[in-house]
Amino acid sequence: MEMLQIAGLHKRFGDKEVLKGLNLTVPEHSIFGFIGRNGAGKTTTMKTILGLLKADAGEILVNGEKAVYGQTATNRYIGYLPDVPEFYSFMTAREYLGFCGEITGMTKKEYRERSEELLELVGLNGEKHRIKGYSRGMKQRLGIAQALLNRPKLLICDEPTSALDPVGRKEILDLLLAVREQTTVLFSTHILSDVERICTDIALLNEGKVDIQGKLSEIRTQYRRDEYLVETDNEEGMHGLQKAFPDIRQTGQNQLVFSEKDYAPGEVFRFVADRAVPVVKIERVEPTLESLFVEVVEK
């Protein structure tokens, strides 16, 4: 089942067309990485899903229900974490979650229990101070807690890790991974290592359109070029290989890459074994998200 479906979304700010017919499908219980450069339209897309911006054209279905601008009833399925979440700084984390619980119509018992559960999950259960003194990482964690409060079916996070240090980033990514059982996660980012770490599905947004979309593993297979990398221990070994296989390409220091089309891998491996070429590693080249991203953006 699809948790979110977007078809032909258009949005223009003045004379700048930000979204040019964006199509996106987010399957249930996926961790969906929404990748794009700064200014590609990630935040615009998310705000339109939440009914904070009015789309010029296109349709958005959240859990099969149409999302509309203004009074957005579909928001009851959604938990939202903006890129820089802002809370009422005069409250404590517990008070804030209580306030959120009350405006979403939870009973006192419900939101008290859920708040404790979530504060423990995000590691803020011992925090008694007002939000005013929180670090960015703490605010981001509280942001996740408030977004998960009413057990949303879809958690939308706008660049949750981009402003954090490595420790804070790891904490947020671990959290997103942990909540996958409970919800579907859609998060935008331009940090590709984050995507590789936790995402099951991705979409690459470029110039207002989604260029590549699908399961990360399938995309990797699809874009795999059947290339192998051989790294030798010394230059002699590398030269030996280059002499025997003229079409082999040098890609770095003592690093060679060949395509299956040019040479059968077995043949190269046999050469390495027979001549006892000192190798550091032999591996099949996986397309990195970075190479894919660059390829899409530069197309």
Partner 1 sequence: MKSLLAFIRKEMLEQRRSGKLIILGILFIVLGIMSPAIAKLTPWLMEMMAGSLAGSGLIFTSVSVTAMDSWVQFFKNMPIGLIAFVLIESSIFTREYQTGTLLLSLTKGLERHKVVAAKTVILVILWTICYWLCAGITCGYTAFFWDNAMVQHLLFSVTCWWVFGLFAVALMVLFSTMAGSNTGVLAGTGSVVLVSYLLSFFSGLKKFMPTTLMDGTSMIYGMSQPGACTVPLIIAAVMIPVCLAAGVSIFNRKQL
Binding region for partner 1 (CB under 8 A): 50, 52-54, 70-73, 75-76, 78, 80, 82, 84-88, 90-91, 95, 99-100, 102-105, 146, 149-150
Structure tokens at 114: 């859920």
**Cβ closer to partner 1: 72 or 259?**
72
Specify the amino acid at residue 181: E
Nearest to 245 by CA among 234, 256, 232, 236: 256
Nearest to 208 by CA among 55, 84, 67, 83: 55
**Cβ closer to partner 1: 10 or 76?**
76
CB of 58 to partner 1, least distance (A): 17
Phi, psi of 156 (to 5 degrees): -110, 120
DSSP-derived secondary structure for 95-160: HHHHHHHHHTT--HHHHHHHHHHHHHHTT-TT--SBGGG--HHHHHHHHHHHHHTT--SEEEEESS
**Cβ closer to partner 1: 44 or 206?**
44
Tell me if residue 45 falls in helix, strand or coil.
Answer: helix
CB of 49 to partner 1, least distance (A): 10
* Whole-Å CA distances, 270 to 127, 182, 228, 238, 258: 62, 50, 14, 15, 15
CB of 210 to partner 1, least distance (A): 23
**Cβ closer to partner 1: 46 or 173?**
46
CB of 133 to partner 1, least distance (A): 14
CB of 204 to partner 1, least distance (A): 26
What CA–CA distance (Å, rounded) separates 40 from 153? 26
**Cβ closer to partner 1: 6 or 97?**
97
